[in-house]
């Protein structure tokens, strides 16, 4: 079992630093699994993939989101499986002169399994999740390093998407841009370039209430980003809840918008 350890001492929009020992291994594992690579290179690209993927989690990119709730986060990882296998297959085909040519094809496949734990040190809460990528390559033209690249690319996507969905952005409506006949058509949210907001991105709008001392969220509408206007501002089209959002704001209810990735 191979251990990765990360820590985030200051702010989460920095790259995650690495501390502790590198992945442990022995010579047998190195020869059996990574005969086509330097083992140290495999270790380094896994580290870099995790760092890069987590740096693209939108919730943790901007210092304005770094309340005490977020500053005590710690990311730890365990690599439970890394493999690269090869399979040889006898092939034959006719050449341009019609002669049968026999040859051997080598097909490479691999797999990576990684468990990450995001810990809220201050509140003693943690979120553990396993990420697994396996190649099912049938193309003999892919070299081992290309198979590894595809695995890491998929792992990067899985990590970023998981944390973006698990920890979505929360924004506030800061101004109504267009209102007609008691319905809001366009509005501004207080998120922008600092959060990697993109045109076409959706936010669900909720009103926040209290029932028997518990916080409740009632979905009121849905908006789509029409234009990013700055580091912390974007213009949105209201797609659902035009009237309900306007009424909630008029009644001074607390409203938040939560990103939908």
Q: Which residues contact 160 (CB under 8 A, 6 or more apart)?
A: 53, 54, 56, 57
Same domain, 8 and 99: yes
Q: Is the pLDDT of residue 8 over 60?
A: no
175 and 161 together in one domain: no
Co-location of 107 and 211 in the same domain: no
Please check whether residues 142 and 256 belong to one and the same domain: no
Question: pLDDT digit string (tens) for 9-57?
Answer: 233 333 233 232 233 333 333 334 445 566 667 767 888 888 888 878 8
State which residues form the domain around 212: 170-260
Do 205 and 192 belong together in one domain?
Answer: yes
Same domain, 202 and 114: no
Q: Are residues 96 and 217 in the same domain?
A: no
For residues 181-205, give the mean pLDDT: 92
DSSP assignments along the chain, one per residue = -EEEEEE-SS-TTSPPEE-SPPPP--HHHHHHH-TTS-HHHHHHHHHHHHHHHHHT-GGGS-GGG--HHHHTEEEEEEEEEEEEEEEEEEEEEE-TTS-EEEEEEEEEEEEEEEEEEEEETTTTEEEEEEEEEE-----TT--HHHHHHHHHHHHHHHHHHHHHHHS--EE-EEEEEEEETTEEEEEEES--GGGT--TT-EEEEEEEEEETTEEEEEEEEEEEEEEEEETTEEEEEEEE-HHHHHHHHHTT-EEEEEEE-
**pTM recorded for the entire structure:** 0.67
210 and 150 in one domain?
no
Same domain, 179 and 204: yes
pLDDT of residue 196: 82
Task: Find the CATH number of the domain harbouring 97.
Answer: 3.30.160
Q: Which of 166, 196, 212 is the last residue of a domain?
A: 166
pLDDT 10s digits, 96-112: 888 888 878 888 888 88
Domain count for the chain, please give it. 2
Which range is least confidently modeled, 21-35, 69-83, 148-162? 21-35
């Amino acid at each position: 079992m191979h251990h990765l350890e990360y820590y985030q001492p200051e702010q989460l929009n920095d790259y995650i630093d690495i501390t502790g020992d590198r992945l442990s291994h022995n010579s047998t594992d190195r020869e059996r699994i990574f005969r086509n690579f330097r083992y140290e290179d495999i270790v380094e690209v896994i580290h870099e993939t995790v760092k890069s993927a987590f740096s693209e989690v939108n919730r943790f990119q901007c210092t304005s989101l770094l309340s005490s709730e977020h500053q005590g986060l710690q990311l730890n990882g365990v690599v439970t499986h890394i493999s690269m296998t090869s399979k040889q297959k006898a092939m034959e085909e006719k050449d341009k002169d019609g002669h049968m040519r026999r040859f051997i094809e080598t097909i490479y496949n691999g797999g990576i399994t990684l468990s990450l734990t995001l810990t809220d040190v201050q509140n003693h809460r943690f979120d553990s999740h396993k990420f697994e990528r396996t190649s099912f390559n049938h193309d003999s033209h892919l070299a081992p390093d290309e198979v590894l690249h595809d695995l890491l690319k998929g792992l990067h996507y899985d990590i970023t998407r998981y944390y973006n969905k698990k920890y979505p952005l929360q924004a506030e409506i800061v101004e109504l841009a267009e209102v007609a006949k008691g319905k809001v058509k366009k509005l501004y949210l207080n998120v922008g370039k600092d959060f990697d907001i993109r045109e076409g991105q959706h936010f669900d709008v909720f009103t926040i209430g209290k029932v028997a001392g518990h916080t409740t969220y009632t979905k009121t509408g849905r908006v789509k980003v029409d234009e990013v206007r700055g580091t912390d501002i974007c213009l949105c089209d209201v797609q659902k809840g035009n009237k309900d959002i306007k009424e909630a704001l008029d009644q001074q209810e607390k409203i938040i918008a939560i990103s939908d990735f």
